[in-house]
Structure 1
Amino acid sequence: MARELRAQLSASQGGWRLFVVVRGSLDGWPEFSFGSGERVPTFTERAQALKALGFVQAPAAEWEWTEFSTDPADPASPVWLLASTWVDSRAEGAA
Structure 2
Amino acid sequence: MRGHTAQISNRGGRWRLYLVLMDVLVSQWPEHDFGPTPTVPTAAERSRVLDMFGFVAIDGAEWEWTEDNETYGDDTSPVLLLASIRVRSRDGGQP
Q: For residues 73 and 82 of structure 1, what CA distance do their matches in structure 2 show?
A: 17
1:66-86 deviation per Cα after TM superposition (whole angstroms, max 9, x unaligned): 111234433x54311000000
Q: For residues 44 and 82 of structure 1, what CA distance do their matches in structure 2 show?
A: 17
User: TM-score if structure 1 supplies the norm length?
Assistant: 0.83
Task: Look up the match of 1:14.
Answer: 13
> 5+ residue gaps in structure 1?
none
Task: Look up the match of 1:5.
Answer: 4
CA contact (8 A) 2:11 2:80 kept: no
User: TM-score if structure 2 supplies the norm length?
Assistant: 0.83
Work out the number of aligned pairs and report it: 91
CA contact (8 A) 2:4 2:19 kept: yes
CA contact (8 A) 1:16 1:38 kept: no
- Secondary structure of 1:51's counterpart equals helix
CA RMSD of aligned residues (A): 1.9
Superposed displacement of residue 92, structure 1: 1.6
Superposed displacement of residue 25, structure 1: 2.1
Task: Look up the match of 1:35.
Answer: 35
Any runs of at least 4 consecutive aligned residues in structure 1 with deviations exceeding 2 A, and if so which?
69-74
Task: Look up the match of 1:79.
Answer: 79
- Secondary structure of 2:28's counterpart equals coil
Superposed displacement of residue 35, structure 1: 1.2
CA contact (8 A) 1:32 1:53 kept: no
